[in-house]
Amino acid sequence: MADLTTRFAGIESPNPFWLASGPPSNCGDQVARAFDAGWGGAVWKTIGEPIVNVSSRYSSVDWNGLRMMGLNNIELITDRPIETNLREIAEVKKRYPKHAVIASLMVESRRESWHAIVRRTEDAGADGLELNFGCPHGMSERGMGSAVGQVPEYAKLIAEWVKEVARTPVLVKLTPNVADIRTIARAAKLGGADGLSAINTLNSITGVDLDTFTPRPDVGGQSSHGGYCGPAVKPIALHMVQQLAGDAQCGLPISGIGGISSWREAAEFLLLGCHSLQVCTAVMHYGYRIVEDMAEGLSNWMDEKGFRTLDDFRGLSLARVTEWKDLDLNYKIVARIHPELCIGCGLCYIACWDGAHQCIHIEGAGTPEQLLAQSRARLAQTPAVVAVDTARTPAARIPKVDEQECVGCNLCWLVCPVENCITMDRVDTGLAAESWAQRGAGL
Amino acid sequence: MTNEQQFAASFAEIHPPLGRREALVEANRCLYCFDAPCTNACPTHIDVPGFIKKIASGNPGGSAMTILNANILGLSCARVCPVEVLCEGACVMHRYNQRPIEIGRLQRHAMDHFYGTGRRLPTAAAAKPGRVACIGAGPASLACAAMLRQLGFAVTIFDSRALAGGLNTYGVAEYKLRPSDSLQEVELVRALGVEFTLSAEIGGELRIKEMEEQFDIVFLGVGLGRTQPLGIPGEGLPGVVDALRFIADYKMHRGAPVGRRVVVIGAGNTAIDAATAALRLGGEEVHLLYRRSETEMPAFEFEYDLAKKEGVSFHWLTQPVAIHGSIQSPTKDNAAVESVECVRMELGPPDRRGRRQPQQVPGSNFRLACDMVIPSIGQSRLLDFLSQVRDIRLAGGGVEVDPATGQTSNPRYFAGGDCVNGGREVVDAVAEGKRAAAGIARSLEAMRG
C-alpha cells in the first residue's frame, strides 16, 4: 500500500485529497463528516464579512445525457458570521489534529482588515491560510476576489500585508481569468506567499433558457456571469498548473484544483507537479464518499507503477511538456484499423473525410456521398430477408487507411468507440529527429 | 371490471412507449453511424441515426419528419416491424457487446409526439395532371398514394371494406397495433388530399373498365385473399374460424367468443397472433399444430418466444386430417367442434430446394379434443380478381412487376405489397408502394410529354 502522506508548503495531511473552499466545506459538521469519510484536509469556505446570497445560484452544462459536465456558480463567500466559522474551525481541529484545516480568507483591501482576520483565524487553530484572489463573480465587483488576483501589484501587496502577521503557511489562490497566470504567481511569490492554489473558477455563462431567454442561473428573470468548474475545466487547469510548475521565476508548490473527480485526474495533477489536490464539484455531485475510491485508486496505481510516495512521481511529466517548436517533425505515426475489432460504425471514415485528411476509405466508394448513394441504390428493390450476422462486421463495411496519406492526426482513433480497434502506430521515416527550431536555425 | 377494461388489460401493449427521459438516454446511446447498417436494413431506408439524434437534441418534431419523409406509415412500422431482424438486428451495438439501440421504440416516441401535436404533412405546391387509382387501402396503397399526392397528382384509394388501413386496421395483434392507431395514419394520408372510396365494389369487368376510363394509372395494392382452406372434412363446422377473420372480429368488436380448448393450425406469425389472442380472450388451453418441426417454423423467433411464454402448447410434426363435431351436420346451429384428428409426420429427404418434406406416419392417427379450431396456413392469392385485369402477368401466383418501378406487364398497371411479394412485412409494402409511386410519376410525366 503506497504512502499518501502529504507535505505541502509546511502543511501536513494524511493524504493529498482536500475539500476545496466551497459549499462542501461550509461548516464544521460538514468538514468533520468529510474527514470521517477519508478526506485529508479541507479549505474552509471563504471567511470574511458575511454576505447575502441570491437564489438560484448554480447552473450546469449537461452533455449527451450526462449531468454536470461543467458547473457554474454565482454564490458568494460564507454567509455565516466570522466568529461562528472560527469557533467551528477550533472544534474541528481539536477533533482532527492530524487533518489539514486551511482557512480561505477574503476581506476588503485594507491592511488592518487583513491583519485582523489573519490573527483571528490563526488563533482559532487553522493550519494555513488561503487568500481568495480568485472568485470571479460578485465579490470582484466590490474590489475583492479576482479583482485582486488580476492585478499583480494588488496581489503582491495583500500577500505582503498577510505575511507581516501570519505565523502559518500562506497560499494564494489564483484566478484563471488572466492573460498569463504566471504573472500573478510571480507577484504572489514576491509578496512572500508560501504556496499557490490553482485554479479558481472561470468566468462563464453556461447557457440560455430557450423558452424564457434568460441565461442560467435565473435570478428573477436576470442572470450574471458566474464561475465555471467541474470536469469540463480540467484541461484548462492542467495547462495552468503545468505553466506554474514549469516556471522557474515562480517556484512555489501548488495545490491543484479544477475538475478532479477521481484518482485518475489526481494522478495527472500530481504528475504535473502538484503537492495537494482540491475537490469541490465532484463532492457537490456525489458526496464525500467519492474519496474512498480516490485514495484507493491512486494507491493501487502507485503500487502498480512502483511508486512508494507521492514524491516518487511528482512532476514526472513536466519534462515531457515543451514548446511546439521543439517537437520532432520527423516523428510519424499512422492509423491502423484492426478489422477483427471493427464494429462497422463508419465514424472514423466520415470523421477523416469531413474533419481531417480524406485518407480512410471504404472500398468501391470514392466519396461518402457515393457510398450513401450506393446504399440507397441497393434498396431499389425489396431485399430478400437474410439472417443478420450480429457477430461479425461485413468486410465491405470495414474502412481502410491509406497510410501514405495518413498524417497521424489521431482523429479516427479519438472517435472510434471501440477500445484498441484503431491504434496509432509509429512508422520509421528513416529521418533523424529534427524540430522546427532546428530547421529554422539551419536556414 | 367492464368488458372494455378487461379487453384493454388483456391486450395491453407489449412494447409500451418510452418516457421522455428514457428516450433521451436511449437516443444518446446511439453512436450515429455513417452509412448506418440500421438504415440499410430498413426497406424504406429511414435515416435512423438522423431521427435518433433529433430526439437527443430535443427536436422530436424534426425527428418525426425524418421518419415520415422515408416512411409515411412510421407509426405502425414502429410498432409492428420485426425490428429484431431489420434495423435493430443490424445495429453495430451487437458487436460492441451491448444491447442494440431500441430503434422501434424510439421511432414510436417520435411518432407519438407527431400525432400528439396534430401536425399534418406539407401538401404539394402545385397540382399536376394525372389521375391514379389505388386498389386496396392497405399499407402499399397508402404509401403509394401519399407520395403521389405529395408530388401533386390526384389519387383515389378504393377498398371493399368499411375502414381503410388493410391489415394494419384489421389484422395485426391488438397488443402491437390498434385500429385507432392505423386509422390515424389513414387520416394523415387523407389530409394530403387523397380521396377514399370505401365499401366499394372492386372486381367485375365493367368496374375495371370504368376505372381504366377514369384513371390514367391503376396501382394494385390488393394484398392477399382469405386464409387458405385446409381441405379436410369438418372445415365448415361453426367452431372453425380462420385466423384473419378471428383477429379482425376480436379487434372490431373488442372481444370475440373463444373456445375453452383452442387448436390453431399453422406456425406462421399470424398463427402466433391468433394463438396468443385466443389465450387473452379467455381460452384455457391453446394448442398449435405444425406439420414440420421447430426448425422449419416460419414464425419469427421472438414471436415463438412470446407464444411459449404466454403458454401456447406446440405440437410439432402434427398434421390435421379431419375436424370432428358433436353433431355431424354442419348446417345445424348447435353443431360444435369436438376434436381435431391428427396424424404424426416425419421429415423425409430434402427436396430439390433443400427443404425436407413432411410425410405421414401411417397408422399414427390420434384425436386432440377441442371446441374451437383456427386455421392459419397462409393467405390465398386473389387470383379471381387479378385474372380479370387485362394483360397482367402473374408469377408464382403473385403479380409480376419490374422490381425497380413496380410496373406490371400492362404499362398502365403498377403493383406492390403482398399481392406482389406473397405476404411480407408492412415496411416492405410501404417500400414497394413508394417505389411504385416514383415509377408512376415518371410514367405520368412521360404520358404528358
Q: Answer yes or no: do B297 and B352 share one domain.
A: yes
CATH, residue B318 = 3.50.50.60
Q: Answer yes or no: do A35 and A182 share one domain.
A: yes
Q: Answer yes or no: do B148 and B250 share one domain.
A: no
The reported pTM is 0.89
Nearest to B296 by CA among B227, B348, B363, B360: B348
Residue B98 identity: Q
Domain's final residue, options A278, A300, A320 = A320
Rounded distance, CA B431 to CA B140, Å?
Answer: 8
Domain's final residue, options B375, B399, B428 = B375
3-state secondary structure at position A6: strand
- Residue A1's pLDDT is 81
Q: Answer yes or no: do A230 and A350 share one domain.
A: no
Domain of residue B306, residue span: 243-375
Residue A386 belongs to a domain: no
Q: Answer yes or no: do A234 and A335 share one domain.
A: no
Q: Answer yes or no: do B349 and B251 share one domain.
A: yes
Q: Answer yes or no: do A251 and A366 share one domain.
A: no
Domain's final residue, options B375, B393, B419 = B375
Residue B3 belongs to a domain: no
Residues of B in contact with A393 (CB under 8 A): 92, 95
Copy the grid coordinates of residue B286: 391453446
One digit per residue, the tens of pLDDT, for chain A of length 443 reads 899 999 999 999 999 999 999 999 999 999 999 999 999 999 999 999 999 999 999 999 998 778 999 999 999 999 999 999 999 999 999 999 999 999 999 999 999 999 999 999 999 999 999 999 988 888 888 888 888 999 999 999 999 999 999 999 999 999 999 999 999 999 999 999 999 999 999 999 999 999 999 999 999 999 999 999 999 999 999 999 999 999 999 999 999 999 999 999 999 999 999 999 999 999 999 999 999 999 999 999 999 999 999 999 999 999 999 999 999 999 999 999 999 999 999 999 999 999 999 999 999 999 999 999 998 888 766 655 555 677 789 998 999 999 999 999 999 999 999 999 999 999 999 999 999 999 987 65
Across the interface, do A393 and B421 touch by the CB < 8 Å criterion?
no
Across-strand partners of B219? Answer: B134, B414
Residues in Cβ contact with A324 at an 8 Å cutoff, skipping those fewer than 6 apart: A436
Q: Answer yes or no: do B217 and B140 share one domain.
A: yes
Nearest to A152 by CA among A233, A55, A274, A250: A250
Residue A383 belongs to a domain: no
pLDDT tens-digit readout, A51-99: 999 999 999 999 877 899 999 999 999 999 999 999 999 999 999 999 9
- Residue B117's pLDDT is 95
Q: Answer yes or no: do A283 and A346 share one domain.
A: no
Rounded distance, CA A272 to CA A319, Å?
Answer: 9
ipTM computed for the complex? 0.85
Across-strand partners of B240? Answer: B373
The Cβ-side half-sphere exposure at A201, using a 13 Å CA radius, reads 30
The residue among B88, B92, B421 with the most chain A CBs within 10 A of its CB, best to mutate, is B92
Are A272 and A245 a contacting pair, CB within 8 Å? Answer: yes
Across the interface, do B31 and A65 touch by the CB < 8 Å criterion?
no
Strand ranges across the sheet with A58-63: A58-63, A66-73, A226-229, A202-204
CA distances from A283 to A98, A229, A279, B446 (A): 22, 12, 7, 71
Active site residue A135: yes
For chain B, the 3-state helix, strand and coil shares in percent, each to the nearest 5, are 40, 15, 40
One digit per residue, the tens of pLDDT, for chain B of length 449 reads 678 899 999 999 988 999 999 999 999 999 999 999 999 999 999 999 999 999 999 999 999 999 999 999 999 999 999 999 999 999 999 998 789 999 999 999 999 999 999 999 998 888 999 999 999 999 999 999 999 999 999 999 999 999 999 999 999 999 999 999 999 999 999 999 999 999 998 877 778 889 999 999 999 999 999 889 999 999 999 899 999 999 999 999 999 999 999 999 999 999 999 999 999 999 999 999 999 999 999 999 999 999 999 999 999 999 999 999 976 555 555 568 999 999 999 998 888 877 788 999 999 999 999 999 999 999 988 888 888 888 999 987 789 999 999 999 999 999 999 999 999 999 999 999 999 999 999 999 999 87
Across the interface, do B85 and A385 touch by the CB < 8 Å criterion?
yes
Domain of residue A341, residue span: 325-372+391-442
CA distances from A191 to A22, A121, A162, A174, A208 (A): 25, 20, 9, 14, 41
CATH, residue B70 = 1.10.1060.10
Q: Answer yes or no: do B360 and B425 share one domain.
A: no
Q: Note whether B57 contacts A: Cβ–Cβ < 8 A.
A: no
Based on the structure, what is the number of domains in chain A?
2
A364: alpha, beta or left? (left if phi > 0; alpha if psi -120 to 50): left
Residues of A in contact with B32 (CB under 8 A): 347
Rounded distance, CA A161 to CA A97, Å?
Answer: 28
Copy the grid coordinates of residue B111: 411518432
CA of B104 vs chain A CAs: smallest distance (Å): 17
Q: Answer yes or no: do A332 and A299 share one domain.
A: no
Q: Note whether A90 contacts B: Cβ–Cβ < 8 A.
A: no
Based on the structure, what is the number of domains in chain B?
3
Q: Answer yes or no: do A200 and A105 share one domain.
A: yes
Q: Answer yes or no: do A111 and A54 share one domain.
A: yes
- Residue B78's pLDDT is 97
Q: Note whether B56 contacts A: Cβ–Cβ < 8 A.
A: yes
Residues of A in contact with B428 (CB under 8 A): 382
Nearest to A350 by CA among A410, A403, A415: A415
